[in-house]
C-alpha cells in the first residue's frame, strides 16, 4: 500500500513514549496512521462524515487502551481491529435486525441486508457506480470487512484473521462467501432480466465441503 514510510521512531517506540505521557508521541502515531484508518472507515461505512467520526473515535479508543497494548503485535493490527469493530457496530445499528434469523446462525443473519427496496428497483441502470455501491451496502458487515481488508489494504488472510479475531479458515470462508454474494448481486443488477448464462453445473450459492463454513469461534 501507499503508506508513507515511517520516519523517526517506530510505532512501538511512539507507543512507549505515549504510555509515558508524551502527547507528541501520540500525535505522531495518529498522523502516521490516520489515512489508513480513514480509508478503511470510508470504505466500510460509505458516508464520509461517519467515516471521519469513526476514525476519530478509533484513535480516542487507542489512547484509552494504550496501557494494554501488546507489544508482540503490530500497532496497525490493533488499529485495524478497532476501526473495523466500530464500523461493524455502525453498520449493524443502521439496519434492522432480521427477526426471523436463528440466533445461532449469525452468518445467515447478516449475509445480505434484506431491508429496504432492492437496488435494481430504485436505481438508474446506467449508474454503475451506484450499483456497485448498492451491492457493497447489501453485504453483511463481516463480509464487507474481510473484503475491504483484503482488496483495499492487500492484507493476507492470516493478518485479517488476527484483526477480526477469527481463524484463518473463517476469514477465507468469509472472503469466498462475500465475493460470491457480491457477484450474485452485481450480476443480478447488471442483468436485470438478461442474467448471464449459468454454468450447467452451477449450484446454489451454498459453499461445498471444500469451502464449508467453519465454526465461528
Partner 1 sequence: MTDESLTCPDVLEKIPLYVGDDLEDLDRADVGLHLSDCASCRRELEEARKARAAFVGHLDRSLEGPSSPSLWPAVRQGLLEEGLLSEPRSVRPSPGPRRLLPLAAAAVLLVALGGVWDWPWQAEDQPGIVDSSALPAVTVAEDLGPVRDPFRASPLLRESSGLRRVGWSDTRLLDAAPGASSEWRLVPEAEVRPALQVNQLAGYR
The site for partner 1 (CB under 8 A) is made up of 1-2, 7-9, 13, 17-28, 30-31, 34-35, 37-39, 42-43, 52, 55-57, 59-60, 63-64, 66-67, 128-129, 132-133, 135-136, 147-148, 150-152, 157, 172, 175-177, 179-180, 182-183, 186-187, 196-197, 199-203, 207-208, 210-211
DSSP 174-189: HHHHHHHHHHHHHHHH
Q: How far apart are CA 85 and CA 60, in angstroms?
A: 14
Which residue lies nearer to partner 1 by CB, 83 or 88? 83
Give me the least distance between CB of 109 and partner 1, in Å please: 21
Give DSSP secondary structure letters for 8-28.
SS-HHHHHHHHHTT-HHHHHH
b/e code 171-183 from CB counts within 10 Å (16+ = b): bbbbbbbbbebbe
Smallest distance, partner 1 to C-beta of residue 192, A: 15
Nearer to partner 1, 101 or 190 (CB): 190
CA dist 30 and 175 (Å) reads 29
Tell me how far, at minimum, the Cβ of 149 lies from partner 1, in Å. 11
The least CB distance from residue 154 to partner 1, in Å, is: 11
Amino acid at each position: 500500500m501507499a503508506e508513507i514510510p515511517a520516519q523517526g521512531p517506530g510505532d512501538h517506540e511512539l507507543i512507549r513514549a505515549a504510555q509515558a505521557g508524551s502527547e507528541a508521541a501520540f500525535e505522531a502515531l495518529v498522523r502516521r496512521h490516520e489515512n489508513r484508518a480513514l480509508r478503511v472507515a470510508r470504505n466500510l461505512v460509505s458516508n464520509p462524515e461517519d467515516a471521519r467520526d469513526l476514525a476519530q473515535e478509533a484513535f480516542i479508543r487507542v489512547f484509552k487502551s494504550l496501557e494494554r497494548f501488546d507489544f508482540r503485535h503490530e500497532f496497525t493490527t490493533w488499529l485495524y481491529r478497532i476501526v473495523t469493530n466500530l464500523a461493524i457496530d455502525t453498520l449493524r445499528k443502521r439496519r434492522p435486525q432480521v427477526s426471523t434469523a436463528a440466533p445461532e446462525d449469525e452468518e445467515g443473519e447478516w449475509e445480505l441486508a434484506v431491508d429496504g427496496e432492492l437496488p435494481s428497483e430504485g436505481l438508474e441502470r446506467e449508474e454503475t457506480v451506484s450499483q456497485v455501491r448498492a451491492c457493497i451496502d447489501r453485504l453483511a458487515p463481516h463480509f464487507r470487512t474481510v473484503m475491504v481488508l483484503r482488496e483495499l489494504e492487500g492484507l493476507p488472510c492470516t493478518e485479517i484473521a488476527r484483526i477480526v479475531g477469527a481463524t484463518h479458515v473463517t476469514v477465507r470462508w468469509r472472503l469466498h462467501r462475500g465475493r460470491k454474494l457480491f457477484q450474485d448481486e452485481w450480476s443480478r443488477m447488471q442483468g436485470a432480466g438478461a442474467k448471464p448464462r449459468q454454468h450447467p453445473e452451477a449450484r446454489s450459492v451454498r459453499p461445498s465441503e471444500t469451502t464449508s463454513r467453519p465454526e465461528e469461534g
